[in-house]
A and B are shown apart, each in its own frame.
Chain A
Amino acid sequence: MKIRTWMPFALLIAIELGLFWFAKRYYDQRHLALEVEPAQLASSRQQDQALEDIAEAARTGSWKNLDQVRARHSEYYKRTGLSPSRGVALYFFPETLPKHSLERSFATGELSPALQALRQAHDASDPVDATQAYGVLKSRVENYELGAITSPAEEQPSESLLSDEAMLFLDIYGNFAPNAARKPSQEQTEEDDGN
């Protein structure tokens, strides 16, 4: 038997076995998605403008203004089919979160009731209730983003470790609870005892 005669068949069989092996490996690993997929995002300029408008409306101390500004930008996202970035969507435009996003339950089940309580306290001009409501809102955001612990290297107030969107969210809604501690230095007493 000449090697030259068998070589093509051997090569073909080796290639086929190799292809089977790669296919099996692919399906073994297919359970885990390892690639990041791009999203259809609105431009960062538009997003920055939306956040600026919301912050400006909050500074007026009027929930009605805030609602109107939010509705205007939310309408833009709905009309264009674009989305803000995930963090901005979660905290400012939860209706734009993907339908199947697990974060929706946090937005609707935890953030929304806390905001509602803050609004009621603000509308009732009750600073004590407003401070308490803001405290609950802040606690939910911190625990959602950070969990119980922080990295050993991060010996800082919790607020400094939050995402930019979360910090902005707390800063904006802090306008409706003027007595609430928003800055790390104001929270020194709170940080000591967790109250």
Chain B
Amino acid sequence: MNQKTRNLSIYASLALVAASLAFYVLGAESLFAKKKVPKEHVPFLSQSAPVNPEFQQELKFMFATRRLTARQRTLLETEIGLAEERFNVPRSILWCTLFQESRFDSLKNAGRRWGARGIGQFTPHALREINRDTDFYHPGTGALLGDVMRPERLPLTFNLAQGTFRQKKKSRGRQTASVLVAGVSQPRSSYFNMTTAVAASAAYLNNRYIQIKEALDSQQIEYHPEIIWLLASAAYNKGARTVFSLLNHQRKSIGNDGLSEILQSPRLTYKLLSSQQALKAGLRTLWPARKLEHYTEELSRNMDAVFSCAVMENAL
């Protein structure tokens, strides 16, 4: 190497070293951080669902095997549209939440004594909120549900119409099993009535939306409203306490601005709600170790499904 080339090399290396020092001294924030500009809340939830091809394929299969008929789908879409008007729940969020919970089986787990049942997989305590705290979160819920259930009224129950199940003798032995009878009309006051269940599930989602929104407003944290619907779906699945714990953990580490950034970006919210590592970090103090693993796995799986179903592809 001649002297000139050697000198050039030395200067280039020194320049690189100087740039690195400047980088560390001034902080990479100035180079890599996004500039804080007022964000317009561009909608990112799809107007129709599902967005993801896997669910579209699954729907086709459900039609082909008559697990879902065209008539049922039309009824469902109508009810979801009405729920959107009544409760302001984005139709894609409600559609995807119900699809993820039950694949639109309004009698799912109907024979169970405990646990989640119906199209929205409501538990008795969810029903109790609708019955006992009807207008607490949203003052019009009672009137709206009353319209849906007419001529019947609240309270909602898990009662099944007579003849929904029939005893079927097994071919061998004396055991009998209960078999669901298709096409039995369920009472309007029952959560197993599809129209009532869609409205009640929408009301519950709306309650979670209001709960989360009010908490964020009280702390003056900025957010995109459609992100709050996604968080409401997470709260539907695992309770508002889970959502608050996750957000508190993030805020504690990255501050209000950092949290606002997450809550205005569908991509970052998706990373938060679908990453088991992030979920475990935020929920470690909330759930015991024995539950943490399968709860976070369940939540991340559910939210991955809801996001891919409800959010436009280019937003993620």
A interface, CB within 8 angstroms of B: 1-2, 5-6, 9, 12-13, 16, 19-20, 23-24, 26-28, 30-37, 85-87, 98, 100-106, 109-110, 132, 135-136, 138-140, 142-158, 163, 190-195
Contacts and interface: CB of A to CB of B under 8 A. Distances in A.
Interface string B204-233: 100010010011101100000000000000
Given A33-B249, A140-B133, A156-B114, A135 B13 contact: no
Nearest to A132: B132
B16 A106 contact: no
A105 B284 CA distance: 22
Contact of A35 (B216, B256, B281): B281
A37 B252 contact: yes
B43 interface: no
Nearest to B5: A1
A145 B248 CA distance: 15
Nearest to A86: B285
Dominant secondary structure at the B interface: helix
**B interface, how many residues as a size bin?**
35 or more
B199 to A, nearest CB: 14
Contact of A139 (B115, B129, B208): B129
A33 B123 contact: no
Contacts of A24: 28, 32
A30 B239 CA distance: 26
Interface string B153-164: 001111100000
Contacts of A27: 28-29, 32-33
A195 B275 contact: no
Contact of B294 (A144, A151, A194): A151
A36 B284 contact: yes
Contacts of B180: none
Contacts of A6: 1, 9
A142 B128 contact: yes
16 contacts: A1-B1, A9-B9, A16-B20, A23-B32, A31-B271, A32-B250, A32-B262, A33-B281, A35-B281, A101-B244, A105-B214, A146-B123, A147-B235, A151-B298, A193-B159, A194-B157
B277 interface: yes
Given A16-B17, A103-B215, A150-B115, 14 more contacts: A1-B1, A16-B16, A23-B23, A23-B32, A24-B28, A33-B254, A98-B252, A147-B238, A149-B126, A152-B116, A157-B114, A194-B127, A194-B130, A194-B158
Interface string B38-79: 000000000000000000000000000000000000000000
A14 to B, nearest CB: 11
A12 B286 contact: no
A5 B1 contact: yes
Nearest to A188: B113
A148 B33 contact: no
Contact of B215 (A23, A106, A158, A195): A106
Contact of A192 (B28, B113, B239, B298): B113
A177 to B, nearest CB: 14
B239 A145 contact: yes
Contact of B268 (A31, A135, A192): A31
Interface in B269-303: 271-272, 275, 277-278, 281-282, 284-286, 294-295, 298
